[in-house]
Amino acid sequence: MKIAIVILNWNGKKLLEKFLPFVILHSDEASVYVADNASTDESVSYIKANFPTVHIIQNKTNGGFSKGYNDALQHVDADVYCLLNNDVEVTRDWLVPIIKTFNSEPQTAIIQPKLLDYNNKDYFEYAGAAGGFIDKFGYPYCRGRIFNTVERDSGQYDENSHIFWASGACFFVRSQVYDQLNGLDETFFAHMEEVDFCWRAKHFKHDIKYVHESVVYHVGGATLSNSNPKKTFLNFRNSLFALTKNAKGNLLFLIFVRLILDGIAGIKFLFEFKFMHTLGIIKAHFSFYSHLPRLISQRKQIYRKANYYQKTSIIYEYFIIRKTVYKSL
């Protein structure tokens, strides 16, 4: 099995200095690529001078996470792609259980390892924790993280299991499945594109797995922090994109409820004096409206047979019933 680790980079020289040596040290089973998204720092020259075994792909523009990978992977020959953030520290033998799972489970198309917090290594990391799920209204959550409540890792999720979505921070996917789904949706730019991709993979009956024996540590927010209103804009808009494209059921009802819930989130930001985040939600909704014709067209092309959400509303479970950890759901 040929595995290619592809690290997307944009002006991340300092992150490459810190984390790329671990990838090279612990990844004898794979080829390592850095796909540079038209960086203006010294990322490319640094790699050339210090890591001659690393393959460099130079994208002409910064098209974000989705386009960056779609462009780069056209130049990669492998059976399995590992889409790896440049702020992830990998560990010894991290690839061994991943390879074992792909070899023994031909129906498994996508895998996520255990994702822990680099700065607080006893805790799961926000971006994917122990694997992701989604509720009826398109809100994602994880085993180990629901909204802003992040659990300590005490081995409570130390079993390999089926999940709904795998984190884009460390995302293994069979290349033939990536091609089958025409890659990531480039209109997302960044954030939630992996949820949309996995949702589409589910339509084709592909399995998505969490493999706990493989452990990585993710910084999170190294390129775009949670305090940045642009991240709020992308998360809210792209969540609506994925919901509209993929959800089964009465779409008008789902979108109506979702817009109300987003409005409540915007009011909450106002009371917290986070005015730019409220504005980010408003902008997200207007951007969503402008993309509706395209989204409806995509929806018609996607085969929808079954619901994949575990909970009708994670907001109800979390904010009303106060179930703040996955095992209590």
Banded pLDDT at 176 (limits 50, 70, 90): very high
Residues 237 and 195 in one domain: no
**Residue at 262 is within a domain:** yes
Between the alpha carbon of residue 275 and those of residues 43, 193, 253, 269, the distances in Å are 35, 26, 28, 6
Is 223 part of any domain?
no
Residue 35 lies in a domain: yes
Domain boundary among 176, 198, 218: 218
4's CB contacts (< 8 A; 6+ apart) are 30, 31, 32, 33, 76, 77, 78, 80, 81, 82
Is residue 278 included in any domain, yes or no? yes
Q: Assess whether 272 and 135 both reside in one domain.
A: no
Contact 81, 178 (CB under 8 A): yes
Last residue of a domain, one of 218, 238, 268: 218
Is 65 within a domain? yes
Choose one of 197, 218, 239: the last residue of a domain. Answer: 218
Residue from 120, 305, 149 nearest 220 by CA: 120
Tell me: pLDDT of 23 over 70. yes
Tokens of 122: 């006893």
Answer yes or no: do 139 and 270 share one domain.
no
Same domain flag for 210 and 100: yes
Could you give the number of structural domains in the chain? 2
Query: Residue 179 contacts by C-beta under 8 Å, 6 or more apart in sequence?
Result: none
Window from 88-92, 182-186, 223-227 with minimum mean pLDDT: 223-227
Placement of tokens 């089973």 in the chain: 29
> Do residues 114 and 146 both lie within one domain?
yes
Residue 307 has pLDDT above 90, yes or no: no
Measured between alpha carbons, how far is 15 from 222 in angstroms, rounded to an integer? Answer: 8
Q: Which domain holds residue 244?
A: 229-328
Strands annotated E in the chain: 3-9, 30-37, 55-59, 80-85, 88-90, 108-117, 120-124, 132-134, 140-142, 145-146, 149-150, 161-162, 170-174, 207-218
Mean pLDDT, range 73-95, rounded to an integer: 98
Same domain, yes or no, for 262 and 315?
A: yes
Q: Are residues 122 and 32 in the same domain?
A: yes
Q: Do 47 and 67 reside in the same domain of the chain? A: yes
Three-state DSSP at 258 gives helix
Residues 237 and 115 in one domain: no
- Indicate whether 222 pLDDT > 70: no
CATH number for the domain harbouring residue 61: 3.90.550.60
